[in-house]
Structure 1
């Protein structure tokens, strides 16, 4: 796969190594958004079928990305919305313990914490190992050991958002299934950058925001539900999610029947005529690129950086448990974080700081010049 920076509008004089914070907008996605704005000038161009068809196409495309059927997918505005939809529909007779990782992203942690408090469940936090040696391996093992017959649910990010630590979703999903434990995953920092199969990994709910690795707009996302969560109670009772919604003349023929599968969980105003087409356009571009090629591009691009770091006082996670597209760099004691940040800023390098480490996240718009500039700056 070749560099794709020409499809974006990033300035040539910056080195944006921060896709985990927010992706730049594709030109094609921007164009679709502008078309949507212009379309609202004349509402006669918006027909009843437009409330549904684009959403169904988007679900089909998302399904291709994660190996799911379209009927298993709902459209949501945020990870917190998706987490609430999934966690609040968990059965209460399925174990007394809920598991979450230390430093989990707040959207998942707060929702699970509140569910535990409300339903008298115990919240077990799997601590990150203090030692940097084999940290990812030991963290994965601690998580797997904690899952047992008393575990109601495991909630985690597929890739830890602070440092890119990889978690073996297939092994975790297998252990969850063996113990009848529900498995809920925040895929925001991996879906679109790494391959994921919700069936192979036995995932019950996978929620993703669109504005990072999916290259979509803010306030859009999706959630996948396995069949055993189809019968839950949605956060809101949108008319669009009822079985008779397509017939505008009979909307007041009230029905208790929802649309198929996970459709009941769609956020109200699902057919957003601006954001939804933008999201669909970004997913179509991802499918065109193929996520396997995106991941390989990131791996090849960052290889010189990885080799430099391995032979320097800096520390990174070992290869097996380090994401190709997102990883943290721990600083040696003799390097002051504030001084390093000043050097990065002076060289127009954009990264994130998480704790005492810097987080690097690369994608198809990044170039070898971006990596070379970062390496030279880290040598200061």
Structure 2
């Protein structure tokens, strides 16, 4: 066990070479060996269907649904299986009843999956889209609270929020914001893409109308699969696609399930990844990632880049910015040194997960000292 608290490094579960520092979980994660093996076994179901009865596949859907529900503190009946977060958000937007003239509240530079469906809703229902500008002091939570309670502003109809800003890990404290949204009488829609699997996510605490997350990032699963939580009072709506699986007698959030649900490859992969994440304590994962991002922050002192104050950034993503902008091609330079990260909206985004350790931090800091 290293210095990152009670959860030891899990690199042995992955196929990451010793000379690679993969700090890009916020883009997509490498698959654990067990998840890859689950996918390979699923391929055989399609390659040799005479040896693998299709009747066994629906159980994999319920296995994945059950694991997704556990991850966010929901019941199995509250979770729909989607093809993507954009599919989930389109479903959520289509099932909100809002009065004209209200506001759709979100942060500036939000990820497209959380923008487009609600832009369409705003146009169709006569709503005003308000994007809270990036605060100069980095305090997204205070800026959003001020926008929620601004005197004389139209009422907030829908708040579309995330636990952190996807570009640089800026904290958006839903423990403070969710009660304020509810007090304003607004619907709350949460995109937990950059949190589920890395941070504690609890629908019982935040009480969203809808919450969605995919499996291909922090949940250590495949691309092309996501989950939508629908609060009990939001489960009587209509799916955006009709298929034999989501028509009555399907009930609860299953009414929103995607077509071609019974995928013999993606479902067991997603379930295996989710069950692996569930085998760790979510708070221990967050603590481990906090210490790694803290070490990265300490390591770049004096290099002309800076991050938000510790209390204003999420544990799992560190965004580094430079006053005059990052040097061109910085991420490419790091990649040549075996360091994998992303540049997003002017920030170098470093996002370690459970496979990373202090050696990765030191290698990254050394490469940054050379590049900067």
Matches within 5 A, 1:38-77: 38-47=44-53, 49-77=55-83
Alignment counterpart, residue 104 of structure 1, candidates 87, 106, 110: 110
**Aligned equivalent of 2:85, options 71, 79, 82:** 79
After TM superposition, the structure 1 = structure 2 runs for residues 27-176 of structure 1, keeping only pairs within 5 Å, are 27-47=33-53, 49-93=55-99, 96-129=102-135, 131=136, 133-145=137-149, 150-176=155-181
Q: Distance in 2 between matches of 1:336 and 1:79?
A: 30
TM-score normalised by L of structure 1: 0.90
Partner Cα separation in structure 2 for residue 135 and residue 197 of structure 1: 22
**Structure 1 92/310 Cα, relative in aligned 2: closer, same or farther at 3 Å?**
same
- CA distance in 2 between partners of 1:258 and 1:172 (Å): 37
Q: CA deviation at 1:329?
A: 0.3
What secondary structure sits across from 2:364 in the alignment? helix
Structure 2 counterpart of 1:24? 30
8 Å CA contact retained: 2:38, 2:272: yes
Distance in 2 (CA, whole Å) between partners of 1:185 and 1:137 is: 15
Residues in 1 aligned to 2:178 and 2:142: alpha-carbon distance in whole angstroms? 18
- 2-side partners of 1:196 and 1:169: how far apart? 10
Q: Does 1:288 align with 2:279?
A: yes
How far did 1:95 drift? Answer: 6.2
Distance 2:147 2:250 in 1: 36
Of residues 344, 366, 369, the one that matches 1:376 is 366
Which consecutive unaligned segments of at least 5 residues does structure 1 have? 243-256
In structure 2, what is the equivalent of residue 193 of structure 1? 198
CA contact (8 A) 1:94 1:181 kept: no
Taking structure 1 as reference, are residues 175 and 35 closer, same or farther at Cα in structure 2, changes over 3 Å only? same
How far apart, in 2, do the equivalents of 1:312 and 1:13 lie? 24
Q: Residue 12 of structure 1 is aligned with which of 18, 27, 30? A: 18
Distance across 2 between alignment mates of 1:19 and 1:167: 19
1:345 counterpart residue number? 335
2:145 touches 2:177 (CA, 8 Å); kept in 1?
no
Q: 1:138 to 1:276 in 2, by over 3 A?
A: same
Superimposed CA distance per residue, residues 77-125 of structure 1 (whole angstroms, 9 cap, x where no aligned partner): 1011000000111013386221121101011111111111112111111
How far does residue 231 in structure 1 lie from its aligned partner after superposition?
0.9
CA contact (8 A) 2:331 2:341 kept: no
Query: Counterparts of 2:106 and 2:277 in 1: how far apart (Å)?
Result: 30
Q: 1:54 to 1:200 in 2, by over 3 A?
A: same
The number of residue pairs the alignment matches comes to 363
CA contact 1:305–1:371 (8 Å) conserved in 2: yes
| CA distance 1:108–1:46, change in 2 (3 Å) | same
- Measured after TM superposition, the shift of residue 49 of structure 1 is 4.3
TM-score by length of 2: 0.91
Which residue does the alignment assign to 1:316? 307
CA contact under 8 A between 2:164 and 2:173: conserved in structure 1?
no
Residues 126 and 142 in structure 1, CA contact (< 8 A), matched pair in contact too? no
1:170 Cα deviation from its structure 2 partner: 2.2
Shift of the 36–202 alpha-carbon distance from structure 1 to 2, 3 Å rule, reads: same
Structure 2 equivalent of residue 355 of structure 1: 345
Deviation, structure 1 residue 279 = 0.2
CA contact (8 A) 2:331 2:348 kept: no
What SS is found at the alignment partner of 1:125?
strand
Distance 1:94 1:320, change over 3 A: farther
- C-alpha separation between the residues in 2 aligned to 1:85 and 1:317? 34
Q: Conserved in 1, the CA contact under 8 Å of 2:300 and 2:369?
A: no
Deviation at 1:138, TM superposition (A): 3.9
Q: What is the RMSD of the two structures over their aligned residues, measured on CA atoms?
A: 2.1
Q: How far apart, in 2, do the equivalents of 1:336 and 1:212 lie? A: 25
